[in-house]
Amino acid sequence: GAGVSQSPSNKVTEKGKDVELRCDPISGHTALYWYRQSLGQGLEFLIYFQGNSAPDKSGLPSDRFSAERTGGSVSTLTIQRTQQEDSAVYLCASSLSGTTDTQYFGPGTRLTVL
């Protein structure tokens, strides 16, 4: 596609439920990133995928968070047993490779946990 797309654009869920957020990177981009933007905060790095290498999960805030990337393209971020503090905008970005290339961001998924 022309840019990074994410779905859904908005997700409202109840505390304790699991949610899945999807990211479609720019075609041909080998690197994919997930960030979280909480209200009034900057962006917080969550996880990074590069090709077939093991992902950098150093930013995941707890073991309730996981992500996978299938076929080197689409990625899914899963949050289990959601908590109210998980409410944020989850942004996905991709870059041509994982070194110095510019990261292009999707529009984000706004997650609200009631």
Partner 1 sequence: GEDVEQSLFLSVREGDSSVINCTYTDSSSTYLYWYKQEPGAGLQLLTYIFSNMDMKQDQRLTVLLNKKDKHLSLRIADTQTGDSAIYFCAERSGGYNKLIFGAGTRLAVHP
Q: Using the minimum distance from each CB to partner 1, give the nearer residue, 44 or 80.
A: 44
Q: Using the minimum distance from each CB to partner 1, give the nearer residue, 87 or 105.
A: 105
53 binds partner 1 (CB under 8 A): no
For the beta carbon of residue 2, count every other beta carbon within 10 angstroms. 6
Question: Please, what is the minimum distance in Å from the beta carbon of residue 80 to partner 1?
Answer: 23
98 binds partner 1 (CB under 8 A): yes
Three-point CA angle 83, 32, 104, nearest 5°: 100
> In terms of Cα–Cα distance, which of 53, 1, 18 is closest to 32?
53
Interface pick for partner 1 out of 43, 64, 87, 96 (rule CB under 8 A): 43
Question: Please, what is the minimum distance in Å from the beta carbon of residue 82 to partner 1?
Answer: 22
43, 90 contact by CB (below 8 A): no
Three-point CA angle 17, 62, 106, nearest 5°: 75
Q: Using the minimum distance from each CB to partner 1, give the nearer residue, 76 or 105.
A: 105
Amino acid, single-letter form, for residue 2: A
Using CB under 8 A as the criterion, which residues of the chain lie in contact with partner 1 when the complex forms?
Answer: 4, 31, 33, 35, 40-45, 48, 50, 56, 59, 91, 93, 98-100, 102-108
